Chains A and B, each alone.
Chain A
Amino acid sequence: MITMWKLEAYTGGSWSMARAALIGTALGAGLFVSLSAARAQTITVWSGYPEMAPFYEHVADGLKASHPDLHVKVEAIDLREHEKRIALALTSDQAGATIIELSGSTAHRYLENDLLPAAPNDVSTFVNDPKNFDAFFANDASKDKIVYAVPLFRGQGSLYYNTEMFAKAGLTGPPKTMEEYNDYAKKLTQRDASGKPTVSGWSMRLSGGGQGIAEKFWTILFQYGGSVLEPAANGKWKANFANEAGRKTLKQYLDNVYISKNVTVDMPADAEAFERGQTAMFMRESWVIGDIASKAPTLKYATAPLPIGSIALPTNLYVKGNGKDAKAAWDFAMATNSPENLVWLLDKVGWLPNRSGVDYSAVTKGQPAFAAFVDYPKGYKFFTLPSIGPIDEVLTRLAAQLTAAYGNPAIAGNDAAIDAVLKTAADETNNILRRESLLAE
């Protein structure tokens, strides 16, 4: 170390540089020491939703009585980066225990490769009890009837609409069919003198990273009776959107963008736009309720279920680790599902807890917007992402195809062109499935 310092000192009038090097190294040593200070028992929570960080900290606080030595570190980052770090970290050895928040479909590939351990017996019993979790959620957290995780929350889509804008446009209630969506969008769009939309009638997901576009497309496709991937016999799948349902869906997007001109790609979109009054309605998950409460508390809005059904994406808590730390981690995972914590989750964060038999009425009465998510009509259908290895790749590639299609005015109104686009995308999907030996022939 000293030799290095002398070397720096020789390099041209750079006492400042030598000093910088010294300071830098000292800082680093200090950081190092603080980072590697030993803790009694540390578990780390990895989450893909930054808004969940306060929840996990709340759960940790609740555990202080029973686990005085426990230190919980919460690392919540952007979802795509979160999935990446899991892929990279699970294949190498980690110290301590990590609680990994992951959706069941993404977790599948790790379970296939034996990279996540099964849950201990008490957790297993808890999850499999039908009084605690509907079979749908228990299955999502299991593989071949073995439980690997504790279900926590789900993403479920509903419609958010601005009641003031609706009243101004003479509309009394939310749209009930997909055709009504188009009508309403036209009536709600506000335009400037040249006819350009300034407030979009319906904010559709037209751009942005990753698979979100594909998931939103699938949601609308579902209302028309289609799906991106359809299961066939013996665990195989095939693409199911190069058909009339797919055409209707893509047409709806293109008509709204290019024919009725209710929304354009570069307009502000999504939750932020809704909060700022730049769009009249959009579809999203329940976390928006908490976002609106903190960023636009005076916004007059309501929620409504979708015409046929919605996506339900369960997210579970898996544990990676050994020994005492792992036990503490599973205790933590179980603690997240205590009724008190789940009510806190719904109230303060807004994601929907999966556990049944808990009384959420205190929250839903205070915030009627939750009604659309928990009080859905009889016969409401749900779909979820298939638990297969290449699901991310399929959706990402589909998203790229759709983004190109949404940006292409030439195909709007041209049924043949729309069909061609869908066929290309479906072929690509099937190729991926074939490559992974998952294609139903």
Chain B
Amino acid sequence: MIKPTEGSRLRFRRKLIDRTIDLVLVSFSMLMILPLLFLVSNAFKSPSEMLNWPPTIIPTDPTLANFKAVLGETPLLHWIGNSLLFACLSTTCIVSTSALAGYVLGKFRFRSMNIIFFLFLATAVVPFEVYMIPLYFQAQALGVLNSVWGLLLGYMVMSFGIFLIRQNVIHSIPDELLEAARIDGAGEFWIFWRIVLPLLRGALGALAVLAFFQAWTSFAWPMIITTTRETYTIEVGLALFQTGFTVDLGRLSAASAAVLIPSITLFVLLRRNFVQGVASTGLKE
């Protein structure tokens, strides 16, 4: 039997544990975003303040000169546009191919399908960088170098995406549902369009977010595909950021900080999709 004082002691202990965990987590979270805070604060520093020791977190003499220079002299917004276009195209492509392929591989268990599935699976582990170079020459042969189509070439399908959808299809779409629709006389495409896709909503949302950020943060491939300043994506533009003889750290920080804004905004908008989607993928297999 729990006496009243024991109850309150238990509650106190639980609260203490909770508060401690909160403290640990808050410090950890702050540590995680600290580098980005530094970046933003550097963006507002004047060139002479950048050389200060000890380094300051809050600039003593904040200036907008870096931002003005960056937005005026470099095609930063253009680069953001390029990255956005590339990421959207890639997401669309990946989501559609994964949805269709995942559904087929999950529900149509023919021998030939299993072979195809094995093929997808086997190549899933191969890192992109391994076959990046021949793919580059393919892009060259197709004449799509230095364009968003060339960028897209490396990001049209995602093996993991197909896998994800297939898992989801197996776990959350009962065969009976499909059979019932077939008995009612529905065509296969109609079934896919009207029944399967709405049920896959969560997983497709998660996949879309994954695909989007994979394209948004891709580096090695855009580095070799884009050759003119106009076609750079953000990653490439920032990495090769150089106006004049040398690299100005203040301006670079301003450009980087400016780029953080769309990244974080997009993430905050899409976060709920992602978490829900991942939860419904049946990763717990």
Contact = CB atoms under 8 A, between A and B. Distances in A.
A27 B85 contact: yes
Nearest to A54: B244
Name the prevailing secondary structure of the B interface residues.
Answer: helix
A193 to B, nearest CB: 16
Interface in A18-36: 20-21, 23-25, 27-28, 31-32, 35
B47 to A, nearest CB: 9
A89 interface: yes
Contacts of B272: 13
B167 interface: no
A27 B95 contact: no
B240 A11 contact: no
Nearest to A49: B245
Interface stretch (A56-64, A73-81, A170-178): A73-81
Contact of A291 (B51, B84, B246): B246
A20 B262 CA distance: 12
B92 A21 contact: yes
B227 to A, nearest CB: 4
A88 interface: yes
Given A24-B85, A78-B242, A8 B201 contact: no
Nearest to A85: B227
B240 A81 contact: yes
A28 to B, nearest CB: 3
A21 B82 contact: no
Contacts of B63: none
B244 A12 contact: no
Interface string A1-24: 000100110111110110011011
Interface string A38-60: 00000010000011000000000
Describe A's contact surface by its main secondary structure: helix
A145 to B, nearest CB: 32
B229 A75 contact: yes
A31 B96 contact: no
B205 interface: yes
Given A7-B197, A11-B201, A31-B78, A24 B88 contact: yes
Counting chain B CB atoms within 10 Å of each CB, the highest count among A4, A44, A51, A92 belongs to A92
A161 interface: no
B168 interface: no
B273 to A, nearest CB: 6
Given A7-B99, A92-B140, A92-B143, A27 B81 contact: yes
Interface residues of B, number: 46
A67 interface: no
A300 interface: no
A352 to B, nearest CB: 15
Contacts of A81: 240
Nearest to B226: A85
Given A7-B99, A77-B229, A28 B89 contact: yes
Interface of A: 4, 7-8, 10-14, 16-17, 20-21, 23-25, 27-28, 31-32, 35, 44, 50-51, 75, 77-78, 81, 84-85, 88-89, 91-93, 271-272, 276, 287-288, 290-291, 294
Interface of B: 51, 78, 81-82, 84-85, 87-89, 91-92, 95-96, 99, 136, 140-141, 143, 145, 148, 197-198, 200-202, 204-205, 208, 224, 227-230, 240, 242-246, 266, 269-270, 272-273, 276-277
20 contacts: A11-B273, A12-B277, A14-B270, A16-B269, A17-B208, A20-B88, A20-B266, A24-B87, A25-B85, A28-B84, A35-B230, A50-B243, A50-B245, A51-B245, A75-B227, A77-B242, A84-B224, A88-B227, A89-B145, A92-B143
